[in-house]
Amino acid sequence: MFSIIKKELQSFFYTLFAYFIAALFMLIFTYMFNNGIADIDSSTYYFSFTNVFYNVMLFFLFIIPILTMRTFSDERKYGTEVLLMTSPNNTFKIVIGKFLANEVVFLFMLACSSVFPIVTALNGSVAASQLFCAYLGFFCWGTMCITIGMLMSSFTDNSIIAAILGEVSMLVMLYIDDFSRTAFISRIPWLQKVLYAFAAQPKFEYFSQSLIRLSDIVFFISAVILFLGWTIISIEKRRWNRG
């Protein structure tokens, strides 16, 4: 598994890919952060990630598919999937290895954004508890999105299609709570409760309010395990079809 992680990280960091993704994330984050500062009247900015992360979340959904779209689709496209499937690593190790490599890039992006609270702390005041909870919530949300993108990438050999499928799936996860509150769904209480139970955005709201609930942690962990499990099944199915 470590050989897979090393291979994936080399493909990210030995090229400009990881740095391009991080730069794109920082560009969006900087824009949202500056907008937040421009709206304040006080000379001291009490750093809050609530509005910044809410605004970044939508644009973030366009970044994650770029990160994950090549995870399995390129292996199929360039014929390297055969070498991967015939390696000593089983499907579980292959999927987890690629997942951990994507997580490292995601953590690299978050680490780059830490410059904002650091600079703010040097010049103002930072709500430490809210900062920690916002980072934790965004990490959980981003990790779930990574597993969704990986699952979509396992379905096709076209990375563009994988990115589109991932984007649509992530948008559904983001706005499913809004859909559950529509007039039509409101007429079906049990369906509304089911849809709302799968909504990720309300879970992030609690994190942004400096509230860490066990149920929210369990939700994101369960979602990550579920999507990784489906990815393993998808890859294993194709592995068996190859004989």
Distance CA 226, CA 199 (A): 15
Please say whether the beta carbons of 73 and 162 come within 8 A.
Answer: yes
Model pTM score? 0.88
Q: Is the confidence at residue 101, as pLDDT, over 90?
A: yes
**Residue 38: pLDDT band by 50, 70, 90 thresholds?**
low
In the chain, the number of structural domains is 1
**Mean of the per-residue pLDDT values of the chain:** 82
Question: 204, 141 in Cβ contact below 8 A?
Answer: yes
State the pLDDT at residue 111.
92
For the chain, the straight-line distance linking the first and the last C-alpha, in angstroms and rounded, comes to 22
Residue range 42-70, pLDDT digits in tens:
555 555 666 677 777 777 888 898 999 88
Rounded Cα distance between 197 and 57, Å, is 20
Per-residue pLDDT, averaged over 131-149, amounts to 90
Digit-coded pLDDT (tens) for 1-31: 788 888 888 888 988 888 999 999 898 888 8
- 134: tokens are 């916002």
For residue 222, the model assigns a pLDDT of 93
Residues contacting residue 132 through CB under 8 Å, at least 6 positions apart: none
Q: Which domain holds residue 116?
A: 2-241
Highest-confidence range of 29-38, 130-139, 199-208, 226-235, by mean pLDDT?
Answer: 226-235
pLDDT for 187: 81
